[in-house]
Structures are given as structure tokens and as C-alpha cells.
Amino acid sequence: MTEQKIDTDLYSRQIGTFGMETMGKLIQMKVLISGLRGLGVETAKNLILAGPAAVILHDDAVAEMRDLGANFYITEQDVGKRTRAQACLEQLSQLNQYVNVSVHSGPITEELLAGLSVAVFTETSQADLLRLNEACRTRSPPVGFIAADCFGLASSVFVDYGDAFTCRDKDGEEPRSAIVAGVTQESPGTVHTHEGKRHGFQDGDWVIFREVQGMTQLNDAKPRQIKVTGPFSFTIEDTSAYSAYVCEGIVSQTKVPEKVKFNSYRSSLVMPKHEGEEMHVPDLAKFGRSEQLHFAIQAVLAYREKAGQLPAARDSAAADDCVNLAKELNEARKKEGDTALSVEEVEEDVVRKVAMFSRCMISPMAAFLGGVVAQEVVKFTGKYTPLHQFLYFDMFELCPAADPSDCKPLGTRYDDQIAIFGAAKQKAIADMKLFLVGAGALGCEFLKSFAMMGASCGSSGKVTVTDMDRIEPSNLNRQFLFRQSDMKQPKSLVAARVAKGMNQGLNVHATEVRVGTDTENVFDDAFWDSLDCVVNALDNIQARMYVDSQCVWFGKPLLESGTLGTKANVQVILPKLTQSYGDSQDPPEESIPLCTLKHFPHAIEHTIEWARDAFEQLFVEGPREGNNFLTDATAYLAKLPTEGTGTSQLARLNSIKKMLEQRGAGAFEACVEYAVLEFQDKFYDSICQLLHTFPLDHVTSDGTKFWSGPKRPPAPIKFDANDETHLDFVVAAANLYAANLGMPENRDKAAIARMAAAVKLTEFQPKDMKIKVDDKDTTREGCMDDDAAVRQMIATMSELSKSYQTAKPLEPAEFEKDDDNNFHVAFIAATANLRARNYKIPEADFHKVKMTAGKIIPAIATTTAMVTGLVSAELLKLATMDTRKVEDFKNGFVNLALPLWLLSEPLPPLKTTSKEHDPIIMGPVRAKPDGFTTWDKVDVKLIDGTLKQFVDYLMDEVGIEVMIMSAGNACLYNAYLPAHKKRLNEKVTKIWEDVTKQQLSPKRSYLCIEVSASDPDDGVDVMIPSVKFQFRETPAPAPPVSVEAASDQTSACCHG
């Protein structure tokens, strides 16, 4: 298959993670998945969404009722009638039209394996795994082999890709580049990079050099392995015989393929780790657990070989047998010496927990492992580092402290969970009141998980899900509840409907209401008070911060998670026990200095950002300016001289004049002429002007070369209608300009090329221009002659304005990144690459430009499924919170590319303490109470209370004198202002309404008030927690609304 056959609309976010080369390999893969309980169907779902050529399902076991607790495509009608594979086939086939999904029945033969890329085995006996692994290894080339098992709260994954697997890209990270500042002539040679930015390289990285002057031996494009010696230096080979370094040079990371040797399943059972490697430690609190699980899971598999089946749930005798088998196995390994893994002593409790629940399949573990396994399949393309070779993982924190008495099977879909938690805890899960914020990729997975676990499926349970977005084509690659027929439908309503189809007991209410301060009349105090937990499935920090602040205010647990390509994080936020999301934030994104963008780019990201700005200025702001002029020419022309430089003002006026003159012309040739003239201005004239102002031999006041370091000398480009990129620019710019003017498009490239070649271009005439050399430069940019030209142009436009009074408005563009046929990204791609050509920067492909300009977050189904499995396990812990301690909960960071799992206990909340000297106040500060956190509140209940009553209450009950009180950005009282004294007798609510000029919602019963205060005894400044001021009795929460009725309420909320 070729690159052209890849549906870039569907796979855009995935291509942003994997790249086109990997996608080209992935769409040719054929994969077998054997075993279709929860783990198998999760793996199949994630893999089919990723888009291999074919997926073969294999599971001849007839569906059981308990399968419905983790397999979301088996229905009650399938139980006892259809095999698991047949029951899942139709729904799995609908996930991706490009994947051939079929069922294989009967034994797995060598003939079946022969045509495969990778075979995944779950629910498979030890004897069969040994046989099938050998069969996969003996193929030429080898068939990738993955064995995975979910044994209730414990799991394992084993990967074997043969003796000589090639990994092309170990981490999937974008290669970093740095500007060379110097290279020494010694052994080893030391490379110094420009101190404006750390190089970001790591020991063992491979790099290539280009454009080095003097030491030209480095420009041979040969990858060199480096050793980092500092943030701005590293060493390479012996450079003592090389020519002396003079100046310039770019050094970039490069991906060097590596050979990875895998051991067979048989030998890995004896020694599961390679020389120089340790076993994965997913949980930092469980060092040594992987080794224990290795023996525990082998013992359970050995029990199945002996007894013909896995141990029954909570079968103590069978668990004892497994303990003995584990001990026997460990003793045998000890006798084999250093060539075998052994442990000092088998931990019986670990073996028992594996054995007792080995028949159970719970959704959180299945989702977690299904994401991991599917990603390992994708790695067969050579992208990312494969698991080498075992992963062991457990969720033993979910085990009840004492064995429940009500854990007998009830013949329901929840029997596997009941076996672990008991029926009473299952009811607690069912009665949870949840708020799911977001119904995109994470949201779809969470709704599926709720349905499988039975969360919010009881008579008192309810999950409210909200999302403002509509379904788009790119969503179908990750948001598995949606189909092609759902395009443009509300995400929340469709997701809720499909999830309810997976479990009719799910009580779900879907809305399209945005969560924020402006919708607190919908998600009101009573709503937040009624919740047991909030689950975020958001993709922006602002919304996360708001939801977090509400959870802190109302004292509700919050489960926070997010993904970025192969990376994911989980944060558990528990009232009074852990930090909130707002207690720690990621560092802000690096911004590109304005001067770098305008005049001195040295990376493709700089030219893409410049091109995105050009799109905005030409096709969005330009037409808007024209419409502002048409609306009120006098006011527009009066305001113009106060905005920007004369040069920018003149450009705006010329743009408006040209647009309005050509509006009625109707000839596409005028649009092509406009595009060619823009080309001439951007890629020839402006570069010539820059070189006129700063010639190539220009030196700074301190004698150094101006064009050095990050300042790359540009070269002008003359328009050539036969150059494909030149023509791409003209085609896109002409059509976008035509759309602004309300003219029909023209996609005939040959005709446009002829029109463009006929455009007459004038010779460049240099001007006396002022240009800033960096962002600290205070020079006023522009041409001095333009100020006089602006005054003349304003007079001209004032006269012409009368003739434009009947003109139709111009049509500004609205940037849309996901439509590859609208010329938006096409213009930006051509513009970015032409500017890169000006500055001799390597050009970017269309998809790279699309991802960067559209600020598209790379996303894949595997990471999403994996992280929701982790979060769902935390939700189960919350349902049994009465028996929990904070150590049971797990924050997590995962990078499936490496692969890396890091789980750890949530951090305690940050404390506010008294200080002898505060650097801001320049004196002592007292905290009341000392050590309070953001979770603490000062509760003040004064129904219809006045400001004086509020101030007196804090004096009497807290012992502080209120100096300033505010609510949000509104200052309600300042004791230092005499005019505020008259507010003392007014109601606090009236003061709030007067200051904010808003009406308090009748559904609102609290105000969050911040107080600056002092100690009345000694005048020391005092810090207190936020004040929760209750001014009316809390109204009762609204009755539950079913998903069928939700759309009516949604439209009322949206339009109310």
C-alpha cells in the first residue's frame, strides 16, 4: 500500500504521533488476537482504530454472563449462544472501514501464523504458549509474539520479536537541534552550542552536523554518538586532525536504527531479564513485586496445566496449591544458579491474590493492559522501543482489607467484581453520582468503563456527562463510541446513548453545556453538592483549572488525566488529603521571540508560526479591517494613525483599497496577480530589504559578524511559475483571496500557472528602513517616508469611501485545520517552506505543518485506553473510600514509547504557614489556622447577612479584623476607603451585585470570599482560608434526567 491510501483526515492525530512512515508500515500489518474476554476485545478495539490491514479474531469459547463485565461488545442475547469472537465481530468491524476484521475458528495452525505480522495470545495455556512461540520464532521473518494475561488484579505481558529486531526510533521524540558556537581540536573534540538555548541532548544520542565552516569534516552527514558534558556542550570523536573551526553550524539529533535481541518464551520463563537490565518497576512502592509476580503467575499457569482450569474465585485450597507450586518453582530456579531468576522467599500473599481472582476480568485492568498490548503490536513497525520482555502489573490496592461475606456469584454481569469486592461494595459502585466533563477520546473510554463496572447503574446512581463539541471525521480514530453516521452530532448525546446500549442499567444524563463561571446556573451549588466524584476528560488547562477549583470549593474528589501521544498522566485529587490540580502547574510553553519570527528564523517551527500569522493577517484580519472601514469609514480613518507604525498603517490601507476595488471585478486573474505580488513582497522584496539594511558583511558595534549564531543570512527567491512550491503558494493565496471577495474558486493549476507567469513584477527598490535586531531593541520599525504616504492615503480613502457605501461586506476566513481542501493549511505549508528556503532551513511536509499550525495535540487510542484503565481503578477505590488510606491511591506518569510506567502515592496538600518575615509584605505574616490548605474553608452562614454582620462574625469567631474583602475580581470592601464605610449596613449579596453588575442566580447559595486581615491585638497581617459565605438555604438538587430526555434540556440550556 502507498502513502496516498492513508486517510489523513481520519488518522491526522495518530499521524502526528506515529509519523507517515510508521503509518505506511502499520496499514500493511496482519494481526491475530486470540482470546476475546475483556483484555482481548480492548486490544482488538485499540488496534483496529490504529488501522492495520487485517485483524483476525480467535475465541471459540461461548459467551458467559460474566463476560459482560469487561467485554463491551457481548450482549445478554449472545450468552450461551455465540462464541465470544462471533459476538464481537460486527461491532469491531464497524470501528474502521479500512481494516479487514474476520474470525478464525478451530486450532491455531502454523499455516495461519505464516501470513501474520504479529500474533497476540490471551486466555492461552502455558503449553500452547510454548508451542506457538516456537512456531512464531521459526518463521522467516519471525512473526511477532505477544502473550498477555489478566488474572483479576494481576497481569502480565510478554513480547518476543525475534533474535534481530530493528528499532528505527526508540522514543518517537522530535529530533532536537542546536546552533554550533565552537568545536575544539582535541581527543575527544568538545562541541559548544549557542548559549541562547540548552541543547537538550542526552548521553548516547546520535547527531549530524551541517553548515559548519572551517571544520568541514563534520559536514559529512555521518551520525556521531555523543557524550553530554553540560547544557551547552558535548564531546564527539577525536577532532585533533580536523581543520580549525571558524564559525556557524547546526547540529541535530538523528535516529539511528538499533538491533534488539529477544529471547524465547521458554528461556524467558527461566530468566525473564536480559544482562544489564532490570525488570520493570511500574509502582515505586513495589520494588521486587515484578519478580514475585513472575513466580505467582507461573504457578497459576502450572495449576491450570495440572487441573485443566484456573483456580475458582476465592478457592483457598487451590490458592494453597499455587503457593506450593510457586515455592517449588523458586527452589528449582535457585539450583540453576545465575542463569535463572529466583527470589529469596516467595511472598505467599502475592501468590494467593493472583490465584484467588485468576478467573476474574475487571474492566480497569483489561483497559490498561489492552492499551499496552495494542501499542506493543504497533511497535512491530520499528517505531518506539518494544517491551523487553516482561511487564508485570498489579492493582492489589483494590483488595478489601477483610474478605467480604457476600462474594458468591449472582449470575450477573458483575460477578467477577463481586468475587473481589462483594455485593455490598458493588451496590456502592452502582449508586455513585458522577460528573464526567468531556465526551471525547477519554470521555468515550470512561463511559464504557462506567457501564462495564456498573458505576452509576443503581437506582440511586447517575452520571452526568457534558461536552460542547460535535463529532468530526478525525474523532473516529480514537473516540470509539462514534461512527460515520454520527458526524456533526453532539458528542455527549451520542456517547451517552451508545454507552447505555452497552449496559441498559447505566443512568446517564448528557448535556452540551460548557462548564464554567457562565453556566453556574446549570451546574449549580446543589448539583456540585450532590456529587460523589468528578472525572475530567478535558483537553485544555483553563477548563481543568475551573473544574479543580469547584472540586476544592465543594470538597469533592477529582480524577484528572491527560494524554499527549504515547505519554499520559493520572492525578488523584482527594479532599484534604492530596494536592489539587491547581497546586502545581506545568511550565508555560516556550514562546518564539518576535524578532526571530519577523526577521531571524532558524527552525522550521519559526517559519510555520510566521506563515500562520501571514494567513491571519491576509485572509482574516485584512477583510475584517475592510468591513470595519465599510461600516464607518470616518471613525476607522480617525483611529488608524494611533495604531502601529506608518509602514503597517500604509499596508492596511493599501490592502483595503485593493480588496474593495477588486470586489466587483470578478476576474480570477486579479486574485492570481494578488498572490504573485504577495510572493514577491514576502520572499523577494522583504529579504532584499533586510540584506540592504544588514549586508552579509555587516558587523555589530563590538566587531562581531551580524549574521552569525541564531541569525541566519537569508537569500531572496524570485518567483518561478514552474516551481511546485511557488505554484502551491499562488494557488492557495489566490483562492483564499477569491473567497474573501466572494468569488468562485479555481483549482486548475495549469491555468493558474499561466496566469501567474503573465504577471509583471517591478524591480526591488531599497528603502531607508529601521529594523529591530532583537526583542530588547527599542527601535521603532518601519520606513520614515511611509508616514507622509499614510496621510495622503487617508485623504484618498476618505474621498473613495462614498463610492464604497453600497459595497457588500468582505468575507473573512475562519481557520479550519481539519479540512485539507480549503487551502488554509495548503497556504501555510507553502508559505512556511518558502520562508524556510529563504533561510536555508530544512523544509517540512504537509502533515508536520498541519500539526504545528493547527496546534493539534498528537493522540492515539492505545494511550487513551491505557490511562482510563488506571483512572477507573482509582474510581473503584473511591467507591470503597470508607476502608481506604491515601497510600492506596496512585498518581501516574506513563510513556508507552519507551516503555515507562511510574506510579506513586499522591502528594499531600500544600500548607500555608506563619512566617517571621514575608518578602512581599516585608514583615511577619500569621496563618490562622497555621498550616491550612486550599481544602480548608471558613464557613460563615448568615442568611441575608449584612457586611457588618460578616465583619463582626470574623472578628468574634476567627479573631481577625477585616481590611479588604473580595469575590473573584470584585472588591466588596476596603477598610482604608472612607466611602466603603456606608456599605457596612448593606447586604453582602447586594454589594456583590452592585459591584459586579450581575444578578445572583436563585440557584446559588454561596459566595467565595477572600479576606485580607490583621490581628486586632498586634496588627500583624493574617492569612486565612477562603470564606464560604452561605447567604441562603441550599436548594434541593434537580431530579435525575434520563439520556432520552437530555436533548430537550440541553437545547434549553444552550439557548437560555
**Three cell numbers at 672?**
492570481
- Phi, psi (rounded to 5 degrees) for 661: -70, -35
Mind giving me the DSSP string for 540-597? -HHHHHHHHHHHHHHT--EEEEEEETTEEEEEEE-TTTS--GGGS-PPPPPPPPHHHH
Q: In what order do the strands lie in the sheet with 558-564?
A: 508-511, 462-466, 433-437, 533-536, 558-564, 567-573, 891-895, 900-904
Cα–Cα distance, 380 to 398 (Å, whole number): 33
Q: Which residues are catalytic?
A: 595
Q: Nearest Cα to 47, choosing from 27, 62, 66, 65?
A: 27
Q: Which residues pair with 147 in a beta bridge?
A: 121, 158
Helix (H) or strand (E) run with residue 45 in it = helix 38-50
Give the separation between CA 785 and CA 792, rounded to whole angstroms: 12
Give the span between the Cα atoms of 67 and 604, in whole angstroms: 51
Cα 850 → chain centroid = 16
Q: Which of 1009, 1015, 1028, 1007 is nearest to 930 (CA)?
A: 1015
3-state secondary structure of 924: strand
β-strand partners of 191:
183, 234
Tell me the residue type at 898.
L
Grid look-up 469611501 returns 801
3-class DSSP assignment, residue 896:
coil
Q: Could you tell me which of 954, 864, 1050 has the C-alpha nearest to residue 477? A: 864
Cell readout for 586 is: 506545568
Q: Which three cell numbers stand for residue 32?
A: 491475530
Task: In whole angstroms, give the CA distance from residue 505 to residue 455.
Answer: 9
CB within 8 A of 444, min separation 6: which ones? 478, 479, 480, 481, 482, 495, 499
- The CA distance from 523 to 371, in Å, is 33
Are 6 and 77 in contact, with CB atoms under 8 Å apart? no
Angle between helices 441-453 and 861-879 in degrees, nearest 10: 40
At 1002, list the grid cell. Answer: 436563585
Q: What DSSP line would sit under 689-739, residue for residue?
A: HHHHHS-TT-B-TTS-BSS-TT-PPP------TTSHHHHHHHHHHHHHHHH
In sequence order, what are the residues at sequence separation of 6 or more whose Cβ sits closer than 8 angstroms to the Cβ of residue 401? 883
From CA 329, how far away is CA 648, in angstroms rounded? Answer: 80
Largest CA distance in the chain: 101
Spatial separation of the C-alpha atoms in residues 651 and 645, rounded to whole Å: 10
